[in-house]
Amino acid sequence: MKDKIIEKLKDKKIAILGFGREGKATYKFIREFLPKKDIVIIDKNDVSEDELVCLDTHLSFIYGNEYLSNLGDYDYVIKTPGISLKDVDTSGVNITSEIELVLEVAKDRVIGITGTKGKSTTSSLIYSILKKNGVDAVFAGNIGIPVFQMLDQVNDETMFVIEMSSHQLEYLNVSPYIGIVLNLFEDHLDHAGSVKHYHEIKMNMFRNQNENDYMIYCSDNEALNKMVNTNHFKGKQYNVNMSEEAITTINDDMICYKGVPAFSKDIKRNLLGLHNLENIMVAFTVSKILNLNDNLTLEAISEFKPLEYRLECIGELEHVKYYVDTLATIPSATIEAIEALDDINTLIFGGMDRGISYEGFAEYLNNTKIEHFICMPTTGHKIGADLDKERTYFVETLEEACKLAKEITKKGTSCILSPAAASYEHFKNYAEKGDKYKEYILN
């Protein structure tokens, strides 16, 4: 497999666009097999003194405010997900990525998962199911592991489970053997520019499939169902729906696959909430397509634990359970967290304003039994203005929010940090915000 990728690159003029974690993985992979190949690294920042590349005499660097000016000069621009080309004319530019290069040589062994929310949990669950069934598999992508970083662990039989964000799908010209889209909501408008374009980007998961490929989607998500029905995708359509007839659905409290009861919807599971039950149904559908053992698959589902920062219980102090859900970056994700836990007494929310709609969110919160809303900048302060005043508190920092939560949350209940917004305004990412929350609560 490595040989096939290198064969594609060896005689080409190559630029690596972005030199973060994935850019470095791309560089290390190419340099391992092509030690004297000239490569250009393009990044807004000067990375020439990075320890990894500073002694490489076959490298050149382009950086500064005009770093995106001459992308058409290369045969391959291997783009990393964090670089936005929203305002760049990319006509005549051959943009590819680690994921696309892997798909070009091994698409029949790739399971791709995306969605506005739930993709990390679902892709991790699918990987756990494969491993439980003895399938040789690797897990990479948006979860934080570059695909090229895993190539030392693969052979010609290895399955790839790849979580894909909209950033990774945007320029994708090859779609996976099994493509999964969980849902479509309003998100990433700072990158995509519009909801319509964001949803179109997600459809690259299906757009280049053929008649032998499988497309799995949750048809009870209105926006996603509309996108599928208005496009002429070629893959075999396997829909998942919790309330209507579908390939995988719920009937008489049983999860049914192609009309045949498979397991109870009350299966022992650590993934709480109806949204996670739907994620489980998607993962089970993959298991059926691959003809895996049902018993082993259900064991994997029952054993699977929530991922960090995803409705994660961090502990119980003074008879109060504390949850962190910093990956809830849109209102619907926070709503799902609220509905998954029936004893929330305090909700901490708010974060960076990316221009997404919060219409109806305050009304929803006012109609819950939650007694305390702790509102953080920036979105929390805006939404808090429409909340019941006697239940609403305004703070400036996460540390202040945690101190207040420990004072006001009733014993025998729960407190959750579920921002309904991105964390970038005051934190590097959702993980840093989640770690700070754990620190402030537990210490």
Contacts made by residues 338-343, CB under 8 angstroms, sequence distance 24+: 338/368, 338/370, 338/416, 338/418, 339/273, 339/274, 340/272, 340/273, 340/274, 340/275, 340/276, 340/311, 341/272, 341/273, 341/311, 341/414, 341/416, 343/412, 343/413, 343/414
**How does DSSP assign 413-432, residue by residue?**
SEEEE--SSBSTTTSSSHHH
**Alpha carbon of 91 to those of 70, 72, 118, 171: distances in Å?**
12, 8, 33, 12
- CATH fold of 99-303 reads UDP-N-acetylmuramoyl-L-alanine:D-glutamate ligase (3.40.1190)
Kindly give the confidence (pLDDT) of every residue in the chain, 443 residues in length, as a single tens digit, with 9 standing for 90 and above: 899 999 999 999 999 999 999 999 999 999 999 999 999 999 999 999 999 999 999 999 999 999 999 999 999 999 999 898 988 999 999 999 999 999 999 999 999 999 999 999 999 999 999 999 999 999 999 988 999 999 999 999 999 999 999 999 999 999 999 999 999 987 655 555 588 989 999 999 999 999 999 999 999 999 999 999 999 999 999 999 999 999 999 999 999 999 999 999 999 999 999 999 999 999 999 999 999 999 999 999 999 998 899 999 999 999 999 999 999 999 999 999 999 999 999 999 999 998 888 999 999 999 999 999 999 999 999 999 999 999 999 999 999 999 999 999 999 999 999 999 999 889 989 999 999 999 999 98
Q: What is the pTM of this model?
A: 0.89
In angstroms, the first-to-last Cα distance of the chain is 48
- CATH fold of 312-442 reads Protein-Tyrosine Phosphatase; Chain A (3.90.190)
Strands (E) in 268-401, as ranges, are 312-317, 320-324, 344-349, 372-375, 392-394
Domain boundaries, the chain: 2-96, 99-303, 312-442
Q: Residue 226: CB partners within 8 Å, gap ≥ 6?
A: none
3-state secondary structure of 301: helix
CATH 3.40.50.720 fits 2-96, yes or no: yes
